[in-house]
Amino acid sequence: MAKQLMKGNEAIAEAAIRAGVEAYFGYPITPQTELLEYMSKRMPELGRVFLQAESEVAAINMVYGAACAGRRVMTSSSSPGISLMQEGLSYIAASNVPAVIVDVMRGGPGLGNIAPSQSDYFQMVKMAGHGDYKPIVLAPATVQEAVDLTVLAFDLAEQYRTIVTVLLDGMLGQMMEPVELPAMRALPATPPAWAITGAAGRAKNVVVPFRLQADELEALNFDLQRKIADIARREVRFKEYFIDGANADKVHGDRAELIVVAFGAAGRVALSAVKAARQQGIRVGLHRPITLSPFPDERLSQLADEARGFLVVEMNAGQMLEDVKLSVGGQAPVRFHGRMGGQVPMPDDIAQEIEKLDGMTSRPIDHKIEGPVVLRAAVGPARKPETGRN
């Protein structure tokens, strides 16, 4: 299939449609609105359900209803709207029904602004709302990845009967990149056996998000925890650059001694910085978690055995940072570079942080970061031709 240039928000919508989403319920909020608008056009065309809910609270509860019906269903929102969904999310989790949530994060707290951010990490990754559970959280860094992870989200949601969140920031939602869309899937022929479809020719089904007796609720929680553990064992995903073996830098060789950890948009910005630092001869690599939950803690702990230090880059005050520290477990220093309030970290700032980390972890600083890449035709190549990378 030919590539298309698509906005993240719209690409996710189209990917969901091709993954067979049968119902969408949502409420407008920047920087996610294009997703809803796209759905408002495409879903009715396909004879599927689109409904603009009266609020995010209503939207998530409509999602709950459609999920109980055994239908592939999703909603999307951004930070303040996600806050309003916390109760509903907790109900969905307690009920073990599948649902896909797209959170296109924006600057906070409060009304904040509509600029990109990653400050919903805690509220989406640690657990949405009250109670003990964890949704699966997928964090794309490119529009293509957003498409692929959206399809995966529906598969995982159904496989584990869980909430799967696609967590991205406004930057990815708003930006266009070439994407290859998946083929259109057929919709499921029949809803699953547990679905609430009317007790025709079978005993009644019920979906009950509570257990009045503490022992029963604890049993339900144990089931949830088992599921979470199962997911943690099987579904960890990440992408690494310049770290070791196959993905280590061809030019500068060498396994990474410093590890940058960043997800989503921050991850791709960090990639630019890592490339630049590699060019300066710093043995640095990038670990980009794709599943924030389950978190790639084992892999990081493994890297920590040999790494001299870690740098976490986020568009928040340091949230994934805690998970990295928990994984590293004191084996190596963990530094942090974060921007807040809709500010996006810049490659040169990150590169500087890499240098600092390099220095801090006792290696002579014998290199300098050059200015940004500049224009070929107008000014000639910015870097010495032989480096071939930036």
Piece in contact with a copy of itself (CB under 8 A), picked from 104-112, 241-249, 283-291, 292-300: 104-112
End-to-end CA distance of the chain: 30
Site residues for other proteins, 39-58, by CB under 8 A, read 40-41, 44, 49, 51-58
220 or 328: whose CB is closer to other proteins?
220
Quick one: which of 180, 218, 298, 306 contacts a copy of itself (CB under 8 A)? 218
H or E stretch including 375?
none
Site residues for ligand TPP, 45-64, by CB under 6 A, read 56
Note whether 62 binds other proteins by CB under 8 A: yes
Where does residue 388 rank: exposed (0-12), middle (13-18), buried (19+ CB within 10 A)? exposed
Q: Answer yes or no: are the C-beta atoms of 205 and 196 closer than 8 Å.
A: yes
Note whether 216 binds a copy of itself by CB under 8 A: yes
Note whether 338 binds ligand TPP by CB under 6 A: no
What is the smallest separation between the CB atom of 230 and a copy of itself, expressed in angstroms? 15
Site residues for a copy of itself, 292-331, by CB under 8 A, read 316-317, 319, 322, 325-326, 329-331
Tell which phi-psi region holds residue 300, choosing left (phi > 0), alpha (psi between -120 and 50) or beta.
Answer: alpha
Looking from the CA of 6 toward its CB, the CA atoms found within 13 Å total 23
116 or 347: whose CB is closer to ligand TPP?
116
What distance in Å separates the CA atoms of residue 305 and residue 141, rounded to the nearest whole number?
27
Quick one: which of 83, 197, 205, 361 contacts a copy of itself (CB under 8 A)? 83
Quick one: which of 13, 17, 84, 334 contacts ligand TPP (CB under 6 A)? 84
Nearest CA among 312, 313, 316 for reference residue 343: 316
13 or 156: whose CB is closer to ligand TPP?
13
Q: Answer yes or no: are the C-beta atoms of 166 and 103 closer than 8 Å.
A: yes
Quick one: which of 65, 80, 182, 209 contacts ligand TPP (CB under 6 A)? 80
Site residues for a copy of itself, 233-272, by CB under 8 A, read none
Q: Cis check for the bond before 109: say yes or no (omega within 30 of 0).
A: yes
Piece in contact with ligand TPP (CB under 6 A), picked from 9-17, 23-31, 102-110, 129-137: 23-31
Question: Distances from the Cα of 4 to the Cαs of 152, 183, 317, in angstroms?
Answer: 20, 14, 35
Q: Answer yes or no: are the C-beta atoms of 20 and 187 closer than 8 Å.
A: yes
Note whether 112 binds a copy of itself by CB under 8 A: yes
Note whether 191 binds ligand TPP by CB under 6 A: no
Nearest CA among 280, 285, 321 for reference residue 303: 285
Note whether 152 binds a copy of itself by CB under 8 A: no
352 binds, among a copy of itself, other proteins, ligand TPP, none (CB under 5 to 8 A by kind): none
Q: What's the CA dihedral at 163, 164, 165, 166 to 10 degrees?
A: -160
Note whether 210 binds other proteins by CB under 8 A: yes
Quick one: which of 18, 28, 49, 352 contacts ligand TPP (CB under 6 A)? 28
